[in-house]
Amino acid sequence: MKNKIRLISLMVLGALSLTACDFLFPEIGGSYSYFPVWDGQAHKADIVYKDYAANSLYDFSVAPSQDNAKLLIIPVWFDESYKYINPEMKDTIREDIQTSFFGSAEETGWQSVKSYYEIESHGTLTLSGTVSEWYGLETTVRLSDYRASISNTENLVKMATEWYFANHDDSRTSYDCDKDGYLDGVVLIYGAPDYTAVGPAIDQNYKNYTNLWAYTNWVQGTSTKNIFIPGAKPFIWASYSFMYGQQRVESRTGDKRFYSGDTTHCLLDCHTYIHEIGHLFGLTDYYDYSDTYIPAGGFSMQDRNIGGHDPFSVYALGWAEAYIPTYSTTINLQPFTTSGEIIILTPGFNVHNSPFDEYLIIEYYTRDGLNQFDATNLYMNSPSYTKGPERKGIRLWHVDARLLYSRTGSLNPNNFTTNPKSDVYKMAMMMSNTYAPAKSGYLSPLGTTYADYNLLHLIRNDTNITH
């Protein structure tokens, strides 16, 4: 591929000092001296995912990742919910939804959505919101209309949103913190199990339950956009069953059969909700939809729903601070989970201070902070997941987050930029991690020729740079 980044030898940095590191280095023969300590500052990006979404070629909006974001969370009771949930446990589940999204780490046994993102953003983001009563108690919502239809779900989002504001004295504009005319995010927690929980108990083929999973989507068109009466745009659709593992499900729902989470080491499992909120902020998936490759290594929140986010995502949301050295130097790098510090290696960073470029990231990985829980406990006790590395040290990432620009929707690999802000062009991500040959929409928008190139790649000794 043209214009691939020139890999820089790590020797050009001279020395990289890891604060609080306990590595034992082998004896190095001959003379050696450190380069001078870098006297520059680490800086946050001046452009974030919100800027890209505002000028995207595709019809979507994202929640603000800086300052404040407010969620409207609506539990949905179907006409068949009683088959999966003891109706007497509705209030218990609603309380658990409240705790999962806005509770403390102590209340969940790990992290809530709020506590997770406020830790990871280093105080840059304050996440708030409301959990409504169950929608569907005063009107019949038929599960058969939604268990296999994504398009019907979009209509349900709009109906449930209008129901909430028609029945509550609550300011719609308070849920539009960035004043873009859309609610920051609507979350429907549906009263039916995820299809993976339904399958073993009811329908081994899952054929009637293909919409019962967790995803983030967008109400299509701009009919709901109004800065005075903001409507639904980005939304999350997820089951209540993701909160529960085998150990907790019966005591919280009245039925022991339906669970999709892991509460072996916590009280409520918020992993899936945290992952989906990442999409709400604009982040894409980093796992391979064909289940063939593991480009991002398997241990980060937008990859396999575990651990903290990768350093590119944190940087692109405006939370990480990057050192970008321009000469051989020594940098005292703090652990990423606690400091948000990274080093960007590039022969020439863009003048916009934009994360949407091609470069290498050096991260000082430690298994504390948001990594600790999943680095200690194997999620779901399944070989499909991995625990984080046991030793602290460097993780090296290759990022290709350049943007394609177009007036017409036709994309050319030679038309790329690092700046999403334009009055003339619309933007699209150049690369993708979600390689799936049978699903062209999950490749790079440039097609199969570019399918071997990733947006984010964890460089490892035993893995090729493509995939």
Q: Which of 457, 340, 349 is nearest to 395 (CA)?
A: 457
Specify whether the CB–CB gap between 452 and 465 falls below 8 A: no
**pTM, rounded to two decimals:** 0.93
- Average pLDDT (138-154) is 94
Residue 35 burial by Cβ neighbours in a 10 Å radius (0-12, 13-18, 19+): middle
Say yes or no to pLDDT of 385 above 50: yes
pLDDT confidence of residue 11: 38
Residue pair 216/272 in contact (Cβ under 8 Å)? The answer is no
Banded model confidence at residue 28, pLDDT cuts 50, 70, 90: very low
What separation, in Å, do the N-terminal and C-terminal C-alpha atoms of the chain show? Answer: 14
Q: Is the dihedral of CA 307, 308, 310, 311 positive or negative?
A: negative
- Top pLDDT among 188 and 463 is at 188
* Residue 13 pLDDT: 45
Of the candidates 307, 319, 317, 262, the one whose C-alpha atom is nearest the C-alpha of residue 284 is: 317
Residue 466 pLDDT > 90? no
Q: What is the mean pLDDT of residues 247-259?
A: 97
pLDDT of residue 206: 66
* pLDDT confidence band for 439 (50 / 70 / 90): low
**Domain map (residue ranges) of the chain:** 10-22+33-51+288-458, 61-280
**201 pLDDT exceeds 60?**
yes
Tens-digit pLDDT profile for residues 42-98 = 999 999 999 999 999 998 999 999 999 999 999 999 999 999 999 999 999 999 999
- Whether 36 shows a pLDDT value over 80: the answer reads yes
Q: What is the pLDDT at residue 208?
A: 82
Q: What are the start-end ranges of the E strands in 287-377? A: 321-323, 329-333, 341-345, 358-365
Question: Which of 286, 293, 245 is closest to 265 using CA atoms?
Answer: 245
Strands 321-323 and 185-190: unpaired
What single letter denotes the amino acid at residue 417? T
Residue 359: phi and psi, rounded to 5, are -170, 175
Q: How far apart are CA 374 and CA 416, in angstroms?
A: 37
CB 132 within 8 A of CB 71: no
For the stretch 284-332, pLDDT in tens is 999 988 888 899 999 999 999 999 999 999 999 999 999 999 999 999 9
From 258, 103, 107, 274, select the one nearest 190 (Cα to Cα). Answer: 258
Sign of CA dihedral 431, 7, 324, 343: positive
Token output for 8: 């820089």
pLDDT at residue 119 in the model: 99
pLDDT at 188: 99
* Size (the chain), residues: 467
Q: Is the pLDDT of residue 264 over 80?
A: yes
Calculate the CA 306 to chain-centre distance: 10
Q: What are phi and psi of 403, to 5 degrees?
A: -110, 135
Q: Cα–Cα distances in Å, from 326 out to 8, 344, 354, 361? A: 12, 10, 17, 14
Name the token pair of 70: 């407010």
pLDDT at 204: 62
pLDDT at 463: 73
Q: What is the pLDDT of residues 330-361, one digit of tens each?
A: 999 999 999 999 999 999 999 999 999 999 99
196 pLDDT tier (thresholds 50, 70, 90)? confident
Q: Which of 217, 266, 254, 259 is nearest to 239 (CA)?
A: 259
State yes or no: pLDDT of 5 exceeds 50: no
Burial class (CB in 10 A: 0-12, 13-18, 19+), 192: buried
Q: With 70 as the cut, is the pLDDT of residue 437 above it?
A: no
Whether pLDDT at 443 is above 70: yes
